[in-house]
Amino acid sequence: MGQEIGSDGFAPADFARFREQLTRETALLRAVQDRGALSQDGPVIGLELEAWLIDHNFFPAPHNQSFLKRLGDPSVVAELSLFNIEVNAPVCTIAGRGLEAMHQHLSATLRRCAANAHDDVDTVIAIGTLPTLREEDLTIEAMTPSNRYAALNREAERARGDAPVSIDIASPTQGGQRFTASYKDVMLEAATTSFQLHLQVPCEDLWRYFNASIMLCAPLVAISANSPFLFGKPLWHETRIPVFEQALGDVGGPPRVTLGSAYMAVDPTAIFTENLHDYPVLLPFISDDPIERFPCLKLHNGTIWRWVRPIVGIDEQGTAHVRIEQRVLPAGPSSFDMMANAAFYFGVVHALADDIEQMMADLPIEAARSNFYSAAQRGLDAELEWPMGGGTPRASNVVRQLMPLAESGLRAQGMADDLIDKYLSTIAMRLATGQTGAAWQLAHFNKHGDLHRLTADYLEHQRTGMPVHEWTI
């Protein structure tokens, strides 16, 4: 949930000083954009993977502090809960074999993490929401010791007037189950882990790729869904979506977890002006970084979890850039599946960006939003509004229509032909079998009715490295 801060307590004057500097930084970013000084590099890609530590009973294992101390790898860091970690891969290019190098790094890091976790009699699993997760696992005592997390929790509670946040998630199927509850703190967010993709393109093209990324949220969720259970109840194919949105609700201003109210304007800095004016500050910590590195702007943006989020970064030469963080993909099922999802996204978003103005006219933001929630609810069986071919085709047919675009987009960016075939054929087989991670979990539970056996079999399959369409029930 972002970088650490140097304090977990704030006075009213801290908020005033922070907002003053945030205003200056927002104006500075706009000025940098206006003079054409934002980076024109790209495409450059990166990723983050959130994962679970689990014990030999397949329950969450709150040991990330001892785990990280032993591992000593700066690319692996703590997440909100003591039973979550985050793996980061080095940035690379799409051209050539860059995605393969990223795949190898991710797989090797996960193997090293699993071996390290064994010292606590634990292991590591990448899955959107752990099927064996219990409500009692999400107590405030399970929060990773961090000024940022403590302050975020306290300020979220203050913004809600110390009122609890209400959770209400119902299965879309006839006679399906429903989960309702109230929580005082932010720990329910720890029930969700994701596979986040980063994409930097030339600044002048960012709005095209950003808006194509919003449109792609629905087909991406449909083909990658891997979070059907919450506390033992089968709900949405990607239950992580409503859990994350509702867990961070009612904290002032527009929703903190959102697909957004509109497509991005041609000026990509306008969204940071929206952040300044519409979202109350939650973490008013001012670091020692110079204003040219936008510390307050980045910290404030880190408390607004758009599903497609713009990220400000500074490269090694000191040049500022704005990149895309695509946040809708769940963790898992296998490293192979996740990299196939990445290839599909990086290819299609490039192809759609070329015709984005017509696509925006044909698919209003309201339709993109409706598509997103339909896909999260029903996966590949969702009915979507999609401009290619008209009508409301099933999500599976939309993904099928996008496959040639994924191929042409990757080829245009210079990815090696054999890698294009390797990754996109995985998507094609998952599409042909209909076996996403969520579909496999639901079918396994329907057959065996045992969430512990489901988690054990899932983990064994994940360790083989096989893509999910080859997994047996």
* Domain boundaries along the sequence of the chain: 12-465
C-alpha 368/C-alpha 51 separation (Å) is: 28
Give the dihedral sign, CA 257/237/444/399: negative
Class of domain 12-465: alpha beta
pLDDT tens digits in sequence order for the chain, 473 residues long = 456 566 657 889 999 999 999 999 999 999 999 999 999 999 999 999 999 999 999 999 999 999 999 999 999 999 999 999 999 999 999 999 999 999 999 999 999 999 999 999 899 999 999 999 999 999 999 999 999 999 999 999 998 989 999 999 999 998 899 999 999 999 999 999 999 999 999 999 999 999 999 999 999 999 999 999 999 999 999 999 999 999 988 887 899 999 998 999 999 999 999 999 999 999 999 999 999 999 999 999 999 999 999 999 999 889 999 999 999 999 999 999 999 999 999 999 999 999 999 999 999 999 999 999 999 999 999 999 999 776 779 999 999 999 999 999 999 999 999 999 999 999 999 999 999 999 999 999 999 999 999 999 999 999 999 999 999 99
- Of 103, 99, 105, the residue nearest 76 (C-alpha): 105
* 378-381: long-range contacts, CB 8 A cutoff, minimum separation 24: 378/172, 378/236, 378/237, 379/221, 379/222, 379/225, 379/237, 379/238, 379/436, 379/438, 379/439, 380/222, 380/223, 380/225, 380/431, 380/434, 380/436, 380/439
CA angle at 467 for the pair 87 and 81, rounded to the nearest 5°:
30
Residue 190 DSSP one-character state:
G
> Could you tell me the pTM of the whole model?
0.96
How far, in Å, CA of 351 to CA of 372, rounded? Answer: 20
Report how far apart, in Å, the C-alpha atoms of 407 and of each of 81, 335, 347, 366, 442 are. Answer: 38, 20, 6, 28, 30
